[in-house]
Homo-oligomer: A and B are copies of this chain.
Amino acid sequence: MVPIHWDDSKGEILWLDNSKIPWKEVSVSSKNLARLIKAIQALEIRGAPILGEAGAYGTAMIANNSPDSRERILKNVMEHGARLAAARPTAVNLSWGVRQIQNVVKKEYDSGAAPAEIKKAAIEAAKKIQRENIEATYRIGEHGKRLIHDGDVLVTICNAGTLACDGLGTSTAPMRAAYADGIKFRVLATYTAPLYQGARLTAWELHKDGIPVQVITDNMAGHLMREEKATAVWAGADRILGNFTKESGSVYNKIGTFGLAMMARELHMKMYVAAPTSTIDPEHAVKDIKIEQRRPEEVETLLNGTTIVPEGVGVLNPAFDRTPPEYVSAIITELGIAAAPYDASIPQLLELPGSMVRFSTK
């Protein structure tokens, strides 16, 4: 499955429309910036790492679409790149991806490169970002598969799979690596209301790969974790604090992760978080992070528009939650596995202070 791809022969970006899964498997290709922006806004393209790739490829496409003028390429990449970055303002990875290619173009321009050279450098840099993303998921798989054993029953939330993260996905990477090694386990994928990305996307991905998976509603998790003898929860992460305090190892992820973590603790199960080290945020504290509140309509109505909340009744719609480090059994990254205490293990994993540059995505 190719969630996003650069087509050299046509100079187009090709992506798998996430909003149509599991109903239809539709690939879209375009060299039109407005179309790409629409795709990002309509969640045809989603997931933090994939948005980084979309930002990079989109900006490379802007360069590629420009006339063969050094000045016009630079101007377009800066101006239209800003439009692309603003398509989803809260998605830090998107603007990060745009910025990486803007920097490459600026550098090539400053060094006096010819138009064709600038364009080529932009596309190569975007491909490199994707290659490194994919490579990181394979490493996460290699490290994490040691935590999956015959007979395990694993619980997932939302989609931190290939569709969101490319390659093997993040929380799904250890599953795929263990499955490739012949380990026998099965997965309970939680609905993850209000967009049901656990049912729609994660179950779809795992089933496609032949990994045994069943879908459960969010409120079934506690009961089924006990009755089905689940062994671990596997979640991804949108942000992991690594701020050298006791808050290090705090995990921001899709709403519901903290609930699963509490239930895992009550039931003496493991709570694993898989994410690339680019997710680690060394600068911010819990008090700095504002949880994004999404539109009430998402909760008021089911996916297809049927209203289930009575008129006049309010709703809450936080997109993410925070799981404190004491609930996290281990954090699995491409560089290895960190365990508590995270204020010591995260810097060790990253061999700080020398490797601070790895934090550049946030």
Contact = CB atoms under 8 A, between A and B. Distances in A.
A87 to B, nearest CB: 26
A259 B263 contact: yes
A200 interface: yes
B259 A207 contact: no
A217 interface: yes
A356 interface: no
A203 B322 CA distance: 27
Interface string A163-192: 000000000000000000000000010111
Contacts of A203: 309-310, 313
Number of copies: 2
A337 interface: no
Contacts of A157: 219
A74 to B, nearest CB: 44
B311 A22 contact: yes
A266 B262 contact: yes
Nearest to A267: B262
A255 B310 contact: no
A223 interface: yes
Contacts of A265: 266
Given A259-B263, A262-B262, A194 B221 contact: no
Most buried by B among A220, A304, A322: A220
Interface in A278-321: 291, 299-300, 302-304, 306-318, 321
A227 B304 CA distance: 30
